[in-house]
Amino acid sequence: MLADCLQQREVAQAFTAKLRDRPPRSSTLNELVFGAHGNDFVLSIEAELPETIVSALLPSQSGPVQNNEQRWLRFLRYEIRFEIFNDRQLVIGNEYLFLFSLSNQPERGGSRIYGETGRHRDWRFIVERDRQGEVNFRAEAHRTKKSRPAHVDGQMLALPKVQFESSADFPAARWFYDFLTTQCVFYRPDIDLLQTASPPGLSAELMLDAANLPWLVLELQKETDKFSAWVEHVKIALPQVTSIRAKEREEDHHAYLAVAYNGGYEVTSSGLSEGTLRILALTILPYLTRRPAVIITEEPENGIHPKAVEAVLQSLQSIYGSQVLISSHSPVVLAASKLDQVLCARLEANGAASIVRGTEHPRLKEWHGQIDLGSLLAAGVLG
């Protein structure tokens, strides 16, 4: 969602427009505010910086700070206040991006914007925007450099401007912008697309709808060991499969999948079932050389036989170097998960949603694994 906000000339389009064949997130702007009460809402996100960025920022910090790793600028926080004007316009009221260290972290909880109040003297602000519309940019890699004012349209976010700045001056801000816009994928395999041949010219990176899956398989076939390992893993979920190949048609250079089964018959993409295509699209992820930093997928169990779900989850749990977030209401999925991997969401009495770690769930504090988590969910113990 934040990526859509950053890439739209009018930020309201990220919420009310149909983007990439997905329905709008809301039909009116008032739906964006909890309970439709008030005319503003806040989004905040924090991220840990890669070591290369932490090292790039270190020379700009004082000697005592450089000698204390707990005070190194290692994290950033991005805060946005959206305001609804006349029920028809969504504008940016405030926008802040700042760096902070492990020893000087903001307090968590609530909808507080730290750019307005409660600033710590060791926080380093990169982007500061108030209700007057003026935005101040401060080069993060230079401790003494003065801020530079700029005007940004009230319906646009200011952060995208850093992509035109020097990476030597804005290493963290540029990394963060690229992270949100290119390294976070809401993975939603489109069965209709998967059942048709994939045209040439598609991205070599993982696509949101998995439309380039045959091309990813073609590339993986060049790495014999990894490809064989993937096929063997697919066979755990689909034991009747004997081989998987991706092929390129000579006449139009479209790519498609061909799966061979016991008995010697072969089925191409157009004849493969939804469950088979979803298993292929989900299990291939850990075997890809290039993967997004964050992969989000909903209800991976859909269309898949319960006996095959565990093999899919094993793949999703094996994507090392990336963060994988799964949403599901399935006891089968929960039964195959560990407690420290679980986040439980529930609605409070006032309609607000709250999220608690599985290890901190009040009804699971004394749980010792005698009954699996899926059974507890099915019995209503987890709420």
Distance between CA 105 and CA 184 in Å, rounded? 24
Report the pLDDT value the prediction gives residue 378, as an integer from 0 to 100: 56
State mean pLDDT over 364-372. Answer: 62
Q: What angle do CA 174, 180, 181 make, to 5 degrees?
A: 90
pLDDT, averaged across the chain: 88
In terms of average pLDDT, the best of 29-38, 93-102, 103-112, 144-153 is: 93-102
Backbone conformation region of residue 38, classed left if phi is above 0, alpha if psi is from -120 to 50, else beta: left
Share of the chain above pLDDT 70, in %: 91
- 40 and 82 in contact (C-beta within 8 Å)? yes
Euclidean distance between CA atoms 181 and 175, whole angstroms? 10
pLDDT value at residue 371? 57
Domain map (residue ranges) of the chain = 2-182, 185-328, 340-383
pLDDT tens column, 276-297: 999 999 999 999 999 999 999 9
Q: For residue 338, is pLDDT > 70?
A: yes
pLDDT value of position 382: 60
**Taking 80 as the threshold, does the pLDDT of residue 346 lie above it?**
no
pLDDT: which is higher, 49 or 132 = 49
- Give pLDDT, residue 128: 93
pLDDT at 178: 95
> In sequence order, which residues have a C-beta less than 8 Å from that of residue 183 and are 6 or more positions away?
292, 293, 294
Model confidence at 383: pLDDT above 60? no
Reported in sequence order, the residue ranges of the chain that DSSP labels E, i.e. its strands, are: 40-48, 73-85, 89-101, 124-129, 134-137, 148-151, 184-186, 241-248, 255-261, 266-268, 294-298, 323-327, 343-347, 353-357
The confidence score (pLDDT) of residue 144 equals 63
Residue 44 has pLDDT above 80, yes or no: yes
Confidence of residue 110 (pLDDT cuts 50, 70, 90): low
**Which one of 17-21, 83-87, 229-233 scores highest in mean pLDDT?**
229-233
Residue 109 has pLDDT above 80, yes or no: no
Architecture of domain 185-328: 3-Layer(aba) Sandwich (3.40)
pLDDT in tens, 46-83: 999 999 999 999 988 888 888 888 999 999 999 999 99
- φ/ψ of residue 125, rounded to 5: -85, 135
Question: How large a percentage of the chain has pLDDT more than 90?
Answer: 59
Would the pLDDT of 381 be above 60? no
